[in-house]
Amino acid sequence: MQKRPIRVLIAKPGLDGHDRGAKVVAHALKNAGMEVIYTGLHQTVDQIVESAIQEDVDAIGLSILSGAHIPIAEKLFKKLKEEEAKDILVVIGGNIPKRDFDKLRKIGVKDIFQTGSKFEDIVEFIQKNAGREHE
Amino acid sequence: MNSSKKMRGGSMNKKNSQMEIKDVILESGIKVKPVYTPEDVKGMDFKNQMGAPGEYPFTRGIHKYMYRVRPWTMRQYSGFGTAQETNKRFKYLIEHGQTGLNVAFDLPTQMGLDSDDILAEGEVGRVGMAVDTLRDMEEAFSGIPIDKISISLTINSTATILIAMYVAVAEKQGVDTKEIRGTAQNDILKEYIGRGTWIFPVEPSIRLIGDTIEYCSKYVPNYYPVSICGYHIRESGANPVQEIAYAFEIAKAYIRHVQNRGLDIDEFVPRFSFNFDIHGNFFEQIAKFRAARRLWAKIIKDEFNAKNPKSMMMKMIAGGGGGGLTIEQPENNIVRGAYYALISALSGTQTMALCSYDEAYTIPSKKAALISLRTMQILMDEMGLTDTVDPLAGSYYVESLTNQLEDEIMKLMNKVEENGGIVKAISEGYVQREVARQAYIHEKRIQSGEEIKVGVNKYRIEEEERNIEFHEYNPNLAEEQIKRLKQVKAERDNNEVQRNLDKLREVANTNENLMPCMVDCVKSYASIGEITKVLKEVFGEFREPVGF
């Protein structure tokens, strides 16, 4: 058994172009030894799921600052289900009010990291929850 | 942000009574001495390097009497939902003494999508006002005399369309286009670095900006067609030196483009303005602006041989400071905002806007927006900030720091030019990577506590009760907006729209200025989505050099 590095897709869904947080977290995950793929801006949910499957990632990190996190999460999980890719861990980062946390968790988001979250918390969570063993 | 290392107490107790003074290094990399003396400005030619206010090189300000005669404009960024809702907020702000408007558009409008586009789903009216056709702009400014109040449009890749709509609204209000005042952000190059609402590839995008500059210089001469934004570059992670250097290089790229059309520099550069950011070290920001003003004057005079002093004046909106605000203990942001406004006034800004205290997590509430406005008004009416020009001039520290920052900005600008210029650097993603790297370093310093943010990594309240008000997004809004769009489409002359769009396609394929044709398009109520689709067919779309 050999453990491959965790692969993470950092994704910017929708029209919002503020990618500072996405890039900063991508840096942090890479420095923690993960393989990080960043989608770039203006991605549709379909494009994100397609990239995730193509890149065989263990986790998707969505960065959302526009406030549209709930409709985007709903669409994403619908698509993941359609593509039978439900085992991919999904976390969201950005401007997410606490009152939406439960709703997002119900949709399937595993955890939410608000703006200013510590790198070590994000890294630890992904390491704990996304590490799949590969032969 | 704050200086990297602070002098700490404790060392006072050392037996040899020698105080250990730790280094203070500013974000720009400049080392700060504990004491400044006349030695630090020795050899400085005050007459030529500072000049009198209103005179070259404008270090002290672009007007002789500055705020004594021309108080700064107060222009809060606002707009959300439908044109009707936005119109109400505009009137509310004007009623409370705001002297200019700064219009926020929703993301579909900024990205050239109609409200009924599948890609606009969930975004209609969310972060700004939804605009599909001229009808929406007519409503947004209904009852607002646009020849009396200057209006700024925060719009970039679709700026040709929105400027055309603005001109059309003016005509409908009976205002001569020569009387129109205001500003369009219309700085596409910075969108590729930060903010990200680009559509077309770099070259045609610059051409569109050139079209607006040329058009306005002839038909809308009192309008500022472009506001070059260091602001968003800094908000994306850049330090103050990068903020100014990249913004100036971008401005130079636009100037060269328009010069190639045969326009003289003095015909259009007087209508350039800048948008800069304020957060971080107090004196570093003030020195940054004074240095920038001097450097810009020198560049325009020496490099571009301008003759008109108005071309050499760096006019700016300075404020905002979003990057300095915190979600934690949001009321602290009111205090931060007051300091940012103070910096802005001490830096000789023409226009001020402040991020509201709740802006780190929501569209500002009415109350928060009003507090921002009052912050600027208190400064203007109670504190004596308008009494005398450039009150920090002659400070050994401020002058020395101004000189050092000017040098650093110049060095970085030269580096960009030596490596093939800003257009190449942005097209290839070089600037984006540099800024992202800086953002990462900055975030790490905050997380390690090297750089202090009160309420975040010091004086934190762990189980913070957040009794905060959120801007509620109205889910029925999209439906209403789509209904309006359908109605406009049903009422307009569709043959005329088609003729205008065909003409636009034709003109876009040539080097001709497409603004006159754009004005015809919007007047016939062609939608933003329809117009953008035509331009995409001609220009293609930008391929982002993805990296981090």
Residue of B106, B239, B548 to mutate, testing the A interface (most A Cβ within 10 Å of its Cβ): B548
What token pair was written down for B79? 């707009």
Q: What percent of chain B has pLDDT over 70?
A: 96
Q: Most A CBs within 10 Å: which of B187, B327, B443, B457, as the mutation test of the A interface? A: B443
Query: What number does CATH give the domain A7-126?
Result: 3.40.50.280
> Is A116–B547 a contact, with Cβ atoms under 8 angstroms apart?
no
Domain boundaries, chain A: 7-126
Each residue's pLDDT expressed in tens, for chain A with a length of 135 residues: 557 899 999 999 999 999 999 999 999 999 999 999 999 999 999 999 999 999 999 999 999 988 889 999 999 999 999 999 989 999 999 989 888 999 999 999 999 999 889 999 999 999 999 965 443
Say which of A38, A97, A99 has its CB closest to residue B546. A38
Up-side HSE of residue B300: CA atoms within 13 Å toward CB?
A: 30
Rg of chain B in Å (alpha carbons): 24
Contact A61, A51 (CB under 8 A): no
Q: pLDDT tens for residues B379-424?
A: 999 999 999 999 999 999 999 999 999 999 999 999 999 999 999 9
Chain A positions in Cβ-Cβ contact with residue B429 (cut-off 8 Å): none
Please state the pTM of the whole predicted model: 0.94
Task: Return d(Cα A48, Cα A53) in angstroms, integer.
Answer: 9
Rounded to an integer, what distance in angstroms lies between the CA atom of residue B469 and that of residue B465? Answer: 13
Structural domains of chain B ordered from first start: 39-435 (3.20.20.240), 479-539 (no CATH)
**Cβ of B335: how many Cβ atoms within 10 Å?**
12
What does the block give as tokens for B453? Answer: 């943010």
Question: For an interface test with B, which of A10, A18, A20 has the most B Cβ atoms less than 10 Å from its Cβ?
Answer: A20
What was the pLDDT predicted at B18? 67
Q: Which of B108, B191, B439 sits opposite A23 (nearest CB)?
A: B439
Q: Residue B1: what pLDDT? A: 40
pLDDT in tens, B493-528: 999 999 999 999 999 999 999 999 999 999 999 999
pLDDT digits (tens, 9 = 90+) for B414-438: 999 999 999 999 999 999 999 999 9
Which pLDDT tens digit goes with each residue over B92-126?
989 998 888 999 999 999 999 999 999 998 899 99
Contact B284, B26 (CB under 8 A): yes
Residue B374 has pLDDT above 70, yes or no: yes
The predicted structure's pLDDT at residue A116: 87
Interchain CB contacts (distance < 8 Å): A and B: 96
Q: Which residues lie below 8 Å from residue B277, measured CB to CB, with a gap of 6+?
A: B230, B231, B232, B234, B235, B243, B318, B320, B321, B322, B323
Residue B147 has pLDDT above 90, yes or no: no
Provide the 3-class DSSP secondary structure of residue B348.
coil
Cα separation of A22 and B546, whole Å?
12
Interface of B with A (CB under 8 A): 107-108, 110-111, 113, 119-123, 126-127, 191, 194-198, 235-237, 326-328, 360-363, 436-437, 439-440, 443-444, 447, 456, 466, 470, 473, 544, 546-548
**Inter-chain residue contact A97 with B470, CB threshold 8 Å:** yes
- The 10s digit of each residue's pLDDT in B8-52 is 444 445 455 567 899 999 999 999 999 999 999 999 998 889 999
Q: What is the mean pLDDT of chain B?
A: 93
Residue B5, pLDDT > 70, answer: no
Residue of A nearest to B548 (CA): A23
Q: Is the ipTM of this complex over 0.85?
A: yes
Element (H, E) at B85: helix B83-95
* Contact yes or no for A67 and B126 at CB 8 A: yes
User: Do residues B53 and B60 lie in contact, with contact meaning Cβ atoms separated by under 8 Å?
Assistant: yes
- Asked if A15 lies within 8 A of B120 by C-beta distance, the reply is yes
pLDDT for B363 equals: 83
What pLDDT does B168 receive? 97
Sheet of A111-114: strand order equals A35-38, A7-11, A59-64, A89-94, A111-114
